[in-house]
């Protein structure tokens, strides 16, 4: 990631997200090439970042879209994603959202419950349409990641429990306005250990065999997202391990002849190209600590407060002197408003420019107006 010089930022009001669109494009090229090697289809997960400037670059590289709300479907369409390459997941799709997605003729609904299947069937009937549907299955694979972003173990709200899958597939075949496509998984996010994906393949193989034994052949399988990135050393591995990732599925998933294989990467596409840029408002000496108080807070980037996530923090204002530990905090009235404890920084002063790295995914899109603070701005490398 190329971060411009401090002079470049001097005129900009902080805080803002800075996006290196060249790195985004390079990441997309690698992801698309490695997927194409195996004939896999990619759908970018808009939930990671739906900034229109990023969406334009992502669409240019030919990815489809993975959406979780009617507004995301609308944003994908507005950015030029082809409707037939949009997939739409979520446990709580409203009637209005389903109507919108059917109206746009999206590629596939990833369905999560029996009542949802019926509602989709009814609304499709009333619109004179047929809905293509995949069934999201909860495969009970532990992603070994933060519990808020683990989605594939038994006790959470996502997907059909495994033992209901066959019944769900039969329900699809009976519903006149539903066309059953296959199965969908997503076991969690920020997964760096390829063994988790190997386990997912093994589960998918077993599930598929069982379905086939019962005369049910999925024509499509979707493995969701989840590929992790290197938050500690963003400059050493700016482009995530797409080759290993897709290779794992090519090797361990027993693909049926002619079967389509889909993925929904979010973080792996968008995270490393984004940096939250802030200024130091005050340096406060505590009893035992020094606090660097920024003009960015948890409303701008909530990941550290919500998931105890660690982002690399750098002082872009180069200063001579040895590094020392600072607690880097925001101005919001919550103790959780802390970006990092004991972060080693060079001697830091009021006005210094701070970069919080690897923020392109689940950063800007999760910003809020808490404390009635303004939303952060956005700047782009090609402005």
> Which parts of this chain interact with ligand LLP (CB under 6 A)?
45, 47-48, 66, 89, 149, 186, 189-190, 224-227, 264-268, 303, 307, 361-362
Using alpha carbons, list the distances in angstroms from residue 366 to 50, 267, 313: 10, 13, 19
CB of 104 to ligand LLP, least distance (A): 19
For 289, list phi and psi in degrees, rounded to 5: -135, 160
Distance CA 184, CA 23 (A): 29
Task: Tell which residue, 22, 10, 11, has the closest CA to residue 274.
Answer: 22
CB of 351 to ligand LLP, least distance (A): 30
Residue nearest to ligand LLP (CB): 225
Q: Report the residue number, 47 or 279, with the smaller CB distance to ligand LLP.
A: 47
Distance CA 348, CA 291 (A): 10
Q: Report the residue number, 111 or 355, with the smaller CB distance to ligand LLP.
A: 111
Strands 290-294 and 274-285: antiparallel
Distance CA 280, CA 278 (A): 7
Q: Report the residue number, 293 or 356, with the smaller CB distance to ligand LLP.
A: 356
Q: Report the residue number, 9 or 263, with the smaller CB distance to ligand LLP.
A: 263
CB of 238 to ligand LLP, least distance (A): 16
Q: Report the residue number, 47 or 373, with the smaller CB distance to ligand LLP.
A: 47
CB of 76 to ligand LLP, least distance (A): 14
Q: Report the residue number, 18 or 263, with the smaller CB distance to ligand LLP.
A: 263
CB of 372 to ligand LLP, least distance (A): 23
Distance CA 111, CA 115 (A): 10
Instruction: Identify the bridge partners of residue 328 per DSSP, sorted by sequence position.
Output: 292, 340
Distance CA 218, CA 166 (A): 11
Distance CA 298, CA 328 (A): 12
Using alpha carbons, list the distances in angstroms from residue 129 to 70, 101, 102: 18, 11, 7
Q: Report the residue number, 1 or 268, with the smaller CB distance to ligand LLP.
A: 268
CB of 66 to ligand LLP, least distance (A): 5
CB of 350 to ligand LLP, least distance (A): 30
Q: Report the residue number, 226 or 238, with the smaller CB distance to ligand LLP.
A: 226
| Cα 193 off chain centre by | 17
10 Å Cβ neighbour count for 89?
26
Distance CA 74, CA 80 (A): 10
Contact 226, 264 (CB under 8 A): no
Tally of CA atoms within 13 A in the half-sphere of 31 that contains its CB: 29
Q: Report the residue number, 44 or 180, with the smaller CB distance to ligand LLP.
A: 44
CB of 140 to ligand LLP, least distance (A): 16
CB of 61 to ligand LLP, least distance (A): 16
């Amino acid at each position: 990631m190329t971060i411009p010089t401090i002079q470049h930022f001097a005129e900009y009001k902080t805080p803002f997200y800075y996006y290196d669109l060249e790195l985004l494009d390079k990441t997309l090229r690698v992801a698309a090439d490695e997927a194409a090697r195996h004939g896999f289809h990619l759908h970018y997960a808009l939930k990671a970042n739906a900034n229109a400037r990023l969406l334009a670059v992502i669409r240019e590289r030919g990815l489809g879209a993975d959406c979780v709300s009617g507004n995301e479907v609308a944003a994908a369409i507005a950015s030029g994603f082809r409707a037939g390459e949009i997939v739409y997941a979520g446990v709580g799709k409203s009637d209005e959202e389903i109507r919108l997605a059917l109206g746009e003729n999206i590629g596939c609904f990833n369905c999560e419950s029996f009542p949802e299947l019926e509602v989709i069937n009814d609304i499709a009937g009333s619109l004179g349409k047929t809905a293509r549907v995949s069934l999201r299955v909860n495969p009970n694979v532990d992603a070994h990641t933060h519990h808020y972003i683990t989605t594939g173990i038994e006790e959470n709200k996502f997907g059909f429990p495994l033992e209901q899958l066959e019944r769900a597939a039969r329900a699809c075949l009976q519903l006149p306005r539903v066309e059953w496509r296959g199965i969908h998984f997503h076991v969690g996010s920020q997964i760096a250990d390829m063994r988790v994906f190997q386990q997912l393949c093994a589960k998918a193989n077993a599930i598929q065999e069982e379905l086939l034994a019962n005369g049910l052949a999925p024509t499509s399988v979707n493995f969701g997202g989840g590929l992790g990135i290197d938050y500690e050393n963003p400059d050493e591995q700016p482009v995530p391990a797409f080759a290993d990732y897709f290779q794992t599925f090519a090797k361990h998933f027993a693909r049926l002849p002619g079967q389509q294989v889909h993925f929904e990467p979010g973080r792996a596409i968008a995270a490393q190209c984004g940096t939250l840029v802030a200024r130091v408002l005050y340096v406060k000496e505590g009893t035992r600590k020094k606090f660097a108080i920024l003009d960015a807070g948890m409303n701008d980037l909530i990941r550290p407060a919500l998931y105890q996530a660690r982002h690399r923090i750098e002082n872009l204002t180069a200063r001579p002197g040895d590094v020392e530990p600072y607690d880097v905090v925001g101005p919001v009235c919550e103790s959780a408003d802390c970006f990092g404890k004991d972060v080693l920084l060079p001697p830091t002063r009021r006005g210094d420019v701070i970069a919080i790295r690897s923020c392109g995914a689940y950063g800007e899109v999760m910003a809020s107006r808490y404390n009635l603070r303004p939303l952060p701005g956005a700047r782009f490398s090609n402005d």
